[in-house]
Structure 1
Amino acid sequence: MKIGIISDTHGHEMAWAHACERFFQGADLILHAGDVLYHGPRNPMKADYNPAGLVQRINACEIPVIIAKGNCDSSVDASCLELPIEAPYAYVVLEGKRIIVTHGDAVMTDAEKDAMARHLKADLFISGHIHQTVLEKRGDTVFLNPGSAALSKRADGRNTVATLENGKIRIFDIDTKDVLMELDI
């Protein structure tokens, strides 16, 4: 099974398009950790900011998409999508693995994430919000933040996405396709 993992697209159509074309081909599922359409007042608006185009691409996506609600996801935005935005988190079980997808604005600290992961018996805990990559195992849970596909806050400025395939999580630079981090789950 192959899963595409993305977060913080913030209305940037080509970030989604590049992720799907370069990394999510043949995926069985895409998990989006929120902040789908709106760019937010603190974020720069880039040339590919096109929430209407992004809506069309997500709605036309042949791969099932599950989205967790981000702090920038409004009910107006959600009404344009033909799939629900799950709040406050999405809970997915695939091949016996429990996966939690949350944006991360309501569970910011590692202690809060650890507690939620323990309570829900998560094997994989996915969050977004901070626009930086995280990939680490704490206890029985792997914690993943795929970073932002459009508006990175990494020191090197790389926009990123992740995949889970054959028991391995990889975080990629969306432009160069470099593998930046990887971990067996």
Structure 2
Amino acid sequence: MKIGIISDTHGHEGAWVRACAEFFGGADLILHAGDVAYHGPRNPMKADYNPMGLIERINASEIPVVIAKGNCDSDVDASCLAVPLMAPYAYVVWEGHRIVVTHGDAVMTDAEKDAMAAHLKADLFISGHIHVTVLEKRGNTVFLNPGSAALSKRPDGRNTVAVLEDGAIHVCDIETGEVLHHLALDW
């Protein structure tokens, strides 16, 4: 099983292209934790900002894509996507493991995430929104925020994505490929 995990692309087509080319090749599934197309009024636009190009690439993806709706995802953006924006979360059962994907703006605190994960019996709880990576296990659930693929708010400024493969999750710098965080799964 290989799952590519991305969040907060905010219309930056180049971030999607790099993620797919360098990290998601051969994946069985791509999970996107929201804020797909719009850059948001607080975020800078970079040279690769091209929301229509990003949407066209997502629509043309040969790998199935599941997307949780983010706070910057509008109905107009959703109408252009060939896959639905799931709100307030997407629930995927993959090889017997329960995966919850939510943007994170409705469940900001660890306590809120813990409660939602427990209620949904999540093995993996994925969120975005804060543009900072998180990878930790609390109780029976692994909590992952892959960070932003385009507009990092990490102290080091690195844009990141995650890959679940061979019983582990890796959070990687999208530019260098360096593994920044690693967690072996006990599933």
TM-score bracket, normalised by the shorter chain, equals over 0.9
CA drift at 1:166: 1.3
Instruction: Tell me how far apart the structure 2 counterparts of residues 55 and 90 of structure 1 sit (CA, whole Å).
Output: 19
Q: Deviations over 1:120-152 (max 9, x none)?
A: 000000000000000000000000000000000
Name the residue aligned to 2:95. Answer: 95
Instruction: Tell me how far apart the structure 2 counterparts of residues 111 and 51 of structure 1 sit (CA, whole Å).
Output: 34
Instruction: Tell me how far apart the structure 2 counterparts of residues 133 and 20 of structure 1 sit (CA, whole Å).
Output: 19
> Which one-letter code corresponds to 1:148 in the other structure?
S
CA drift at 1:184: 1.3
> Which one-letter code corresponds to 2:140 in the other structure?
D
Q: 5 Å matches for 1:105-184?
A: 105-184=105-184
How many correspondences in the alignment? Answer: 185
> Which one-letter code corresponds to 2:52 in the other structure?
A
- Which runs of 5 or more structure 2 residues have no equivalent in the other structure? none
CA drift at 1:30: 0.0
- Two-structure CA RMSD over aligned residues (Å): 0.4
Name the residue aligned to 1:60. Answer: 60
Please identify runs of 4+ aligned residues in structure 1 that moved more than 4 A.
Answer: none
Instruction: Tell me how far apart the structure 1 counterparts of residues 181 and 57 of structure 2 sit (CA, whole Å).
Output: 27
Name the residue aligned to 2:86. Answer: 86
Q: Tell me the TM-score normalized by structure 2.
A: 0.98
Name the residue aligned to 1:11. Answer: 11
Q: Deviations over 1:39-96 (max 9, x none)?
A: 0000001000000100110011100000000000001000001110100000000111
Q: Deviations over 1:4-58 (max 9, x none)?
A: 0000000000000000000000000000000000000000010000001001100
- Which runs of 5 or more structure 1 residues have no equivalent in the other structure? none
Instruction: Tell me how far apart the structure 1 counterparts of residues 28 and 120 of structure 2 sit (CA, whole Å).
Output: 23
Instruction: Tell me how far apart the structure 2 counterparts of residues 117 and 11 of structure 1 sit (CA, whole Å).
Output: 29
Instruction: Tell me how far apart the structure 2 counterparts of residues 145 and 75 of structure 1 sit (CA, whole Å).
Output: 24
> Which one-letter code corresponds to 1:120 in the other structure?
L
